Amino acid sequence: VISKDIRVNDYVVVRKAGDVIPEVVRSLKERRNGEEKKFKMIECCPHCGSKLIRKENEAAYYCLNKDCDSKIIESIIHFASRDAMNIDGLGEKIIEQFYNLGFVKCIEDIYDLYKHKNEIMEIEGFGQKSIDNLIQAIEKSKQNSMEKLLFGLGIRGIGAKMADVLSAHFKSIDSLMEA
Question: pLDDT for 88-128, tens place per residue?
Answer: 999 999 999 999 999 999 999 999 999 999 999 999 889 89
Q: What is the pLDDT of residue 2?
A: 67
Q: Read off the pLDDT of residues 123-139 as tens digits, 9 standing for 90 and up.
A: 988 989 999 999 999 99
Q: What is the pLDDT of residue 1?
A: 52
**For the chain, what is the radius of gyration of the CA atoms?**
21
The predicted model scores a pTM of: 0.80
CA distance 114 to 118: 9
CB 81 within 8 A of CB 94: no
Give CA 51 to chain center in angstroms.
19
What is the rounded end-to-end Cα distance, in angstroms, of the chain?
A: 43
Query: For residue 21, what pLDDT is reported?
Result: 81
Amino acid in the structure at residue 23: E
Which pLDDT score is estimated for 156?
86
Judge contact between 147 and 164, C-beta under 8 A.
Answer: yes
**Geometric angle at alpha carbon 79, from 76 and 80, rounded to 5°:** 90
Report the C-alpha gap between 109 and 23 in whole angstroms: 41
Tell which residue, 66, 61, 5, 14, has the closest CA to residue 38: 5
Residues of the chain scoring pLDDT < 70: 1-2
